[in-house]
Amino acid sequence: MPYKSFEEYNIQVTDDVKDRYKNIIEDLGEDTQRDGLLKTPERAAKAMQFLTQGYNQDPVEVLKSAMFKESYNEMVIVKDIELYSLCEHHILPFFGKAHIAYIPNGQIVGLSKLPRIVDIFARRLQVQERLTEQVLDCINDTLKPQGVAVVIEASHMCMMMRGVQKQNSITTTSGFRGQFEKIETRNEFLKLIGK
């Protein structure tokens, strides 16, 4: 059987948010009974639940589910992790990529868990600065490595579609703990991710 995607939504939340979207669309001057908009309030309600599903997920449990004892103690990097989030100021998307590195201290984590952590925190109303810090602190506090580094580069639709309307601007945030606070380790990481 081919892969089948399955999404589950809280019916009560969907109905409540759907009614609110219908009112918003009507307040903006649209006819919610016209053909193209008949199902838009429900689709928007489901989309918002999907885009904010990180509130219902525990990033610490995700990391703990795939931690393994290992003697490897050199830098581990997962780079170019795509991310999609919603700016909490305008509820408009921001998107880009995250680069994560850590130096194990007796334990490693399954590589797929690092992008999952990014997704969990990104699927909340966010600011890029907090997102960077949450990913960094979650890995540092849970895995307890010798060091961890996170760099996020993103484009923000609130700056591109409205406001200053700068289509080519990229925001970069970074955070470093432990061994990455040393300039030589930090520089090695930045060189390996092409920065």
pLDDT band at 165 (very low <50, low <70, confident <90, very high): confident
Question: Is the Cα torsion angle 94, 147, 64, 78 positive or negative in sign?
Answer: positive
pLDDT band with cut points at 50, 70 and 90 for residue 64 = very high
* pLDDT class of 195 with cuts at 50, 70, 90: confident
For the chain, the straight-line distance linking the first and the last C-alpha, in angstroms and rounded, comes to 43
Task: Enumerate the active-site residues.
Answer: 87-90, 128, 156, 158
CA distances in angstroms from 104 to 38, 116, 174, listed in the order given: 53, 19, 20
Dist. CA 60–CA 41, nearest whole Å: 34
Query: Where is the binding site for Zn(2+), in residues?
Result: 87, 90, 158
pTM of the model: 0.92
| Known binding-site positions | 87, 90, 158
What is the pLDDT, as a whole number, of residue 162?
A: 86
Q: Indicate if the pLDDT at residue 4 is higher than 70.
A: no
Sorted by sequence, the CB contacts under 8 Å of residue 183 that are 6+ apart come out as none
